[in-house]
Amino acid sequence: MLSPAHTWSLTLIAAAAGFAMLWVFRRFADPHRTRLAKRKLRAHLYAFRLFADEPGPLLRAQRELLVWNARYLGLMLRPAAVLAIPMMALLIHLDAIYGKRPLWVGEAALVTARFDAGANLSGVPLVLEGRGIAVETPPVRLMEEREVCWRVRAARSGAATLVLRFAGTSFDKRVEAGAGFRYLAERRVASPMSWLRYPAERRIPDGSLAWIEVTYPQAEIDVFGWGMHWLIWFSLVSSATMLAFRNRFGVVF
């Protein structure tokens, strides 16, 4: 599990995210229309019990329930749309810190490079060099997947560098080992769209290499002695913050 400092820092970030989401809901939601929609939903749910033996009123209650449920979801859609991109960016960066852990000194990992369809993997030498990290195996070529794999082992704590040499070009990849807070750039990519998912390292120049990846171990945060995925704890804390302070912000869910 990650250190208690990871848990406390994630808790503070999740609480801050909860306050930020409350502000967005206060700014972009309509509490009066939301309250009306909730009252209508409750009223039509009660109608199910009152008119259980009367098909006509029951069908009308079902229809109105669907209508007001759609209106309620529409009211929630506007603040949710505003939050979508910032929250997605935040979660991507948090996963790089809390989702995986650095290698321990002496721990092995798999390095995989994927090439484009036009790359000639059979007749061109591939060399992976390590600076602060040992490369233990020759390249294993998976021709159908257009991938080449190596096993590496962390030689010391801190940042290390892998250098892939292929067809007269070279590409470097950062590897992290040791304890403490580390931003883990698991994959370095060439595609601009993929770079939005893996923005920690600069893009690979256009060419035959699509991406190069270091497989870091999965991590859990320590919550009262229990291992938990960071996203579960983040969701619990941010949701609890929103529920606890929604009245002060005048927000209605």
**Three-class SS state of 63:** helix
Distance of alpha carbon 113 from alpha carbon 150, whole angstroms: 9
What is the torsional sign of CA 161, 162, 166, 171?
negative
Longest dimension (CA), the chain: 80
Q: Are 203 and 118 within one domain?
A: yes
Please tell me the total count of domains within the chain: 2
Dump pLDDT digits (tens) for 14-38.
Answer: 999 999 999 999 999 888 888 888 8
Select the more confidently predicted residue: 5 or 122.
5
Residues 148/137, Cβ–Cβ less than 8 Å: no
Give domain status of residue 34, yes or no.
Answer: yes
Does residue 108 carry a pLDDT above 80?
A: yes
Distance of alpha carbon 39 from alpha carbon 43, whole angstroms: 6
Tell me which residue of 96, 109, 84, 83 sits closest to 19, measured CA to CA. 83
Dump pLDDT digits (tens) for 2-17.
Answer: 899 999 999 999 999 9
pLDDT at 179: 86
Distance of alpha carbon 8 from alpha carbon 16, whole angstroms: 12
Does residue 216 carry a pLDDT above 90?
A: yes
Write the CATH number for 183.
2.60.40
pLDDT at 122: 77
pLDDT at 164: 94
Task: Name the pLDDT band for 56 (thresholds 50, 70, 90).
Answer: confident
Does residue 54 carry a pLDDT above 80?
A: no
**Three-class SS state of 44:** helix
Give domain status of residue 219, yes or no.
Answer: no
Q: Where in the sequence is the domain holding 53, given as residue range(s)?
A: 4-100+224-249
Distance of alpha carbon 81 from alpha carbon 96, whole angstroms: 24
Q: Are 62 and 46 within one domain?
A: yes
